């Protein structure tokens, strides 16, 4: 039966007055209309924007898209037609405007779990490939924004409530990707990301100042060494100079940190994205390494440079390598070991990583799993295991600032947002600056992390 009709019948049955004012109040926070649009992401590829309306509120969300996607990520639905070289998302738009709009109409926007269950039911596949994780995520996130409005809360306040986060709200430490390689840049550097982690700041605003200054010092160093052409930026706003080895990258980043005056106040992170380098038990980083050889190589890098965090150091199914690394090198050097392709924000993959002691932190990307409910579940599991959570953008992203609120709401100690450059990255940094300025009781996670 139509949900409006059944509500009305219930009202009549229970003898409540069906006066139009009351009906307005009762239906106020229910989904009235869902509409999707095909728009563009930061790489110039199509993605969707979803807008959800109740009679009084509006929620929206954009969906990002990765390049170095993990094998176990939920799957995007693309048109595979002539438009946009197959990357169009008109099918997605159509499913939302017709099927999902009809199915979810009448559900309260504050019923996040019910909405997400309904979306999963419509898909009914393990990896959300039927109607698409992009389709599902756009709706799932937009609903929560409408719910925040319905509750007259900031999005981060609402997400904190949904996550049952009772701690004092805290601003995350940024992980700023200032040097790009791998699948994000047109150079020969195999490691994907070299990140600035300003643990020594006292506030988020100060962290941004440190990152911004160091970024410009780095630009000058690259310009002096390689010429102005080498200061063009990769997908996430980091520089992509013509270098080949991780050592060259680490020298550049270390020099920039020192020259900017932030030695030991900005630590270094790396996202190796090793699944992209793996082939038949070998890791190709310019030279070929076995997992054991790569482990020793990391140890040498840790002894020489101020690296405190390493993401996806091994392939997503190379359990033995992760375990060995955790028990030896990472323990000795007290390095944060981060799962991304390994864990894909999927509660099952996170559970598996916890049970096997594969890492001690996870990247949290809502579009890897597709619903807000499952994203929060993955975060909860990681926190319960005593792990760090790093909320993260994708290399193809948009002006949407949702993940900034998500990081604050769940109390993530870190957030990975690219360089302090390009609108789709700065929008998220700027939202965090605004949140910090408006919070009455605020904290910065700098002291909280173990490194």
Q: How far is the C-alpha of 60 from the C-alpha of 70, rounded, in Å?
A: 26
Among the listed ranges 104-112, 195-203, 352-360, 388-396, the one in contact with ligand PGA (CB under 6 A) is 388-396
346 contacts ligand PGA (rule: CB under 6 A): no
Q: State which of positions 254-293 bind Zn ion (CB under 5 A).
A: 271
Q: How far is the C-alpha of 303 from the C-alpha of 346, rounded, in Å?
A: 33
73 contacts Zn ion (rule: CB under 5 A): no
Q: How far is the CB of 177 from ligand PGA (least distance, A)?
A: 8
Residue (193 or 436) nearer to ligand PGA, CB = 193
Size of the site for ligand PGA (CB under 6 A): 11
Q: Does the annotation mark 76 as catalytic?
A: no
What backbone phi and psi angles, to 5 degrees, belong to 168? Answer: -60, 135
The answer to whether residues 424 and 399 touch, using CB atoms and an 8 Å cutoff, is yes
237 contacts ligand PGA (rule: CB under 6 A): no
Q: Does the annotation mark 236 as catalytic?
A: yes
Q: How far is the C-alpha of 221 from the C-alpha of 241, rounded, in Å?
A: 11
Among the listed ranges 284-292, 325-333, 378-386, 389-397, the one in contact with ligand PGA (CB under 6 A) is 389-397
Q: How far is the CB of 395 from ligand PGA (least distance, A)?
A: 3
E strands, 87-206, are 170-171, 173-180, 193-197
235 contacts Zn ion (rule: CB under 5 A): no
The answer to whether residues 339 and 309 touch, using CB atoms and an 8 Å cutoff, is no
Q: Which does 295 bind (CB under 5 to 8 A by kind): ligand PGA, Zn ion, none?
A: none
Residue (177 or 426) nearer to Zn ion, CB = 177
Contacting residue, 254, 346, 395, 426, with ligand PGA by CB under 6 A: 395
- DSSP assignment of 383-415 equals HHTT-EEEEE--SB--S--HHHHHHHHHT-SEE
Name which of 363, 162, 173, 407 is nearest 272 in CA terms. Answer: 363
Three-state secondary structure call for residue 318? coil
Q: State which of positions 135-164 bind ligand PGA (CB under 6 A).
A: none
315 contacts Zn ion (rule: CB under 5 A): no
Which position among 49, 265, 365, 377 bears the catalytic label? 365
Residue (310 or 363) nearer to ligand PGA, CB = 363
29 token code pair: 């926070």
Q: How far is the C-alpha of 369 from the C-alpha of 56, rounded, in Å?
A: 30
Residue (69 or 144) nearer to ligand PGA, CB = 69
Residue (140 or 180) nearer to ligand PGA, CB = 180
Three-state secondary structure call for residue 338? strand
The number of angstroms, rounded, from the C-alpha of 106 to the middle of its chain's C-alpha atoms is: 30
Q: Which does 79 bind (CB under 5 to 8 A by kind): ligand PGA, Zn ion, none?
A: none
Size of the site for Zn ion (CB under 5 A): 3
Question: Rg for the chain (alpha carbons), in Å?
Answer: 23
Residue (165 or 336) nearer to ligand PGA, CB = 336
Among the listed ranges 91-99, 218-226, 293-301, 310-318, the one in contact with Zn ion (CB under 5 A) is 310-318
Residue (109 or 353) nearer to ligand PGA, CB = 353
The answer to whether residues 443 and 168 touch, using CB atoms and an 8 Å cutoff, is yes
Which position among 157, 236, 424, 436 bears the catalytic label? 236
Contacting residue, 41, 76, 116, 340, with Zn ion by CB under 5 A: 340
Greatest alpha-carbon pair distance for the chain in Å reads: 80
Three-state secondary structure call for residue 438? helix
User: How many CB atoms sit inside 10 A of residue 299's CB?
Assistant: 17
Interface mask toward ligand PGA for 39-78; x: CB under 6 A: ---------------------------xxxx---------
273 contacts ligand PGA (rule: CB under 6 A): yes
199 token code pair: 């643990």
Residue at token pair 């440190």: 210
Q: Which does 66 bind (CB under 5 to 8 A by kind): Zn ion, ligand PGA, none?
A: ligand PGA
- DSSP assignment of 237-261 equals S-B--S--SHHHHHHHHHHHHHHHT
Binding site for Zn ion (CB under 5 A): 271, 311, 340
Binding site for ligand PGA (CB under 6 A): 66-69, 271, 273, 340, 363, 392, 394-395
**Residues known to be catalytic:** 236, 365
């Amino acid at each position: 039966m139509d949900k409006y009709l059944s509500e009305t019948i219930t009202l009549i049955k229970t003898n409540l007055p069906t006066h139009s004012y009351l009906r307005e109040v009762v239906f106020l926070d229910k989904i009235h209309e869902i509409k999707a649009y095909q728009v563009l992401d930061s790489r110039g590829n199509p993605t969707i924007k979803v807008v959800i309306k109740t009679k009084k509120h509006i929620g929206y969300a954009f969906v990002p898209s990765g390049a170095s996607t993990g094998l176990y990520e939920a799957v995007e639905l693309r048109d595979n037609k002539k438009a946009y070289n197959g990357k169009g998302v008109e099918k997605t738009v159509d499913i939302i405007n017709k099927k999902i709009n009809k199915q979810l109409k009448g559900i309260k926007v504050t019923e996040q779990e019910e909405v997400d269950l309904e979306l999963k039911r419509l898909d009914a596949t393990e990896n959300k490939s039927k109607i698409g994780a992009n389709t599902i995520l756009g709706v799932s996130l937009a609903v929560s924004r409408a719910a925040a409005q319905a509750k007259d809360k900031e999005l981060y306040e609402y997400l904190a409530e949904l996550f049952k986060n009772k701690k004092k709200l805290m601003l995350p430490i940024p992980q700023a990707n200032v040097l790009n390689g791998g699948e994000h840049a047109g150079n020969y550097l195999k490691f994907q990301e070299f990140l600035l982690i300003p643990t020594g700041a006292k506030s988020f605003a100060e962290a941004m100042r440190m990152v911004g200054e160091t970024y410009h010092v780095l630009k000058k160093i690259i310009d002096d060494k390689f010429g102005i052409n080498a200061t063009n930026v990769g997908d996430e706003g980091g520089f992509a100079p013509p270098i080949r080895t991780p050592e060259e990258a680490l020298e550049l980043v270390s020099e920039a940190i020192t020259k900017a005056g932030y030695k030991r106040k900005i630590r270094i992170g790396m996202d190796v994205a090793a699944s992209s380098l793996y082939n038949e038990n070998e890791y190709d980083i310019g030279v070929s390494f076995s997992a054991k050889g790569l482990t020793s190589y990391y140890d040498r890098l840790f002894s020489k440079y101020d690296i405190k965090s390493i993401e996806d150091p091994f392939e997503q199914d190379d359990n033995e390598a992760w375990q060995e690394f955790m028990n030896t090198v990472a323990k000795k050097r007290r390095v944060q070991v981060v799962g991304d392709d390994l864990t894909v924000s999927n509660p099952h993959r996170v559970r598996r990583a916890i049970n096997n002691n594969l890492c001690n932190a996870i990247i949290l990307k809502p579009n890897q799993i597709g619903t807000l409910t499952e994203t929060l579940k993955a975060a909860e599991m990681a926190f319960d295991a005593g792990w760090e959570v790093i909320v993260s953008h994708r290399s193809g992203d948009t002006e949407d600032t949702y993940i900034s609120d998500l990081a604050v709401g769940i109390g993530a100690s870190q957030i990975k947002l690219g360089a302090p450059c390009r609108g789709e990255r700065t929008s998220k940094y700027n939202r965090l600056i605004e949140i910090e300025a408006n919070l009455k009781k605020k904290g910065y996670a700098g002291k909280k992390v173990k490194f």
